[in-house]
Amino acid sequence: MNKERPKIAFIGAGSARWTSRILIDIWLTPGLRNAEIWLMDIDDYRLGIIGRFANRYVEELKVPGRVFVTRDRKEAIRDADFVISTVLAKGYTYYEKMRAISEDYGYRYGINAVEWNYVGDYHTIWGYYQFKTHLEIARDIEELAPDAWFFIVANPVLELTTLIGRETKVKVAGICHGFLGFVKVLEVLGMRLAKEKLGKNITPLCAMHDPNCIKTIAGIVDVNELELEMQGFNHVIWLTKFRYGGENAYRYVDDWLKEDAEEYWTVWREYTSNPWDVELAPAAFDMYKTYGYLPIGDSVRGGTWKYHWDLRTKQYWYGPYGGPDSEFGNAFRVLLVRRTIEEMARTVFDDSAPLVQKIPPRPSGELLAPLMDAIHNNKPADSYLLGVAGASTESPMYVGALNIGGAYLKAPMYVNILNNGTLDGLPNNIAVEVPVYADGKGIHAKPVSHTPPKIYKYVLLHRLLRAEWALQAFTEGGKDALIQWLAIDVRTKSMQQVNDVIDALLKMPENEEMAKHFR
């Protein structure tokens, strides 16, 4: 790409808190700050909020960027260089209804709640409208911006990226920040090094998320001695290489489990205030014991039914709230979305103080802006500085960068792209999450080690099966796909139960079109 002013289109821009963070990243990046930003949503209220935010922020930062607000998707996409989707077709309330009906027929947490597929309302088999909307967006890109990159942030990233990669000619990549969960593994490393080198027990501080935990770790961990590798599917990604100082660093994990884990979990259960605070929960380390490698980020929320039978089971494995996918977690998620919109509205429509004072210009830590900068400006990169609120350096480009052991922590770039031989034993046309480097020619997978047999056989193949079933259900239609999905479900007691729940879901007024597809 060589356009002086890139055009970046946000589809579903009304996800105001997330979109605002990416916009700030763009305006903090010299190679992108002159971008032409197009914000598109079908919700006038939410679009008004993000539009007001963007126009005020550009003016206050005095960057040369331009902002356009529209309800017309085609107008937003036309001649774009990058199209970013955060779309959730029909919204959270729709999926809440679907889950409630599922539970009435004995399918706790919804019919999508199958092994290795627990991430909120993870709309796979009932994701007809989500799939349809993203395929329509991709068709618009083919027609109106054939050279654009389509970045899918919306879930389910695995199925959506695979669908677009198979059915269109669009350059597509799925983007998720879950891989940044590797930082929590560094916390385990830091707790052990503090004991070994300083004679300090900082485990309780880390369990409480006390700032002194990170401060201590920052002074003792040498990021230059780290070697990390992750691989898998989106939300099913594993730390397949963890080395420190040239040695296998999983020994620190083993020592932490023997000496520190129970103390950590006792304090953590008392102090945690966030259902998403599960990356060092007992479930993560039980999976480590079972499969030999740590699950990273949202992968901790998956697993088998062992971790999910009921609320009490979830609370044992994921803490007092049962994690983000429990009864408490689901309610908290919806509340957070609504409260975020209210807070953003109050903030951006309050002219009593500059917006940059209320929402300071710090990098979010997300991958998108560094990735677009590498592609648009042909700046080869396979990592980027990881922003952390509260830390700072002299250079504006480094504001918020985490300083570990005298060096700024760099996050490797991990993206979901079609496999094409990167992971052995998986189809070439399935989206995998792997390390990449990006440049003016696009996004390129980096070589990874052979997938551990137990991860491949007991985890990835199971998740692959569900993805293929969901995509076949969407592309071919027919009720049989839904029946087969539930016929092997551990919650199914009879075929009558299967037929009754499917009929009830398809009879929802909101599902009239979907019912025709699956008849």
Positions marked catalytic: 177, 298
Q: Which long-range contacts (CB under 8 A, 24 or more apart) does 282-289 make?
A: 282/316, 282/317, 282/318, 283/307, 283/317, 283/318, 283/323, 285/253, 285/257, 285/261, 286/317, 288/253, 288/257
Q: Which residues contact 31 (CB under 8 A, 6 or more apart)?
A: 373, 376, 377, 379
Taking alpha carbons only, the member of 130, 134, 131 closest to residue 92 is 130
Beta bridge partners of 236: 233
* Interatomic CA distance for residues 385 and 379, integer angstroms: 14
Burial 340-359 (b: 16+ CB within 10 A, else e): ebeebbebbeeeeeebeeeb
Taking alpha carbons only, the member of 197, 193, 216 closest to residue 205 is 216
Side chain identity, residue 211: P
Q: What is the DSSP letter of 401?
A: B
Q: Which residues contact 253 (CB under 8 A, 6 or more apart)?
A: 185, 188, 242, 285, 288, 294
* Interatomic CA distance for residues 30 and 226, integer angstroms: 29
Taking alpha carbons only, the member of 76, 5, 26 closest to residue 47 is 76
H helix or E strand, kind and range, residue 438? strand 431-439
Side chain identity, residue 100: A
Structure-block tokens of residue 503 = 């009929």
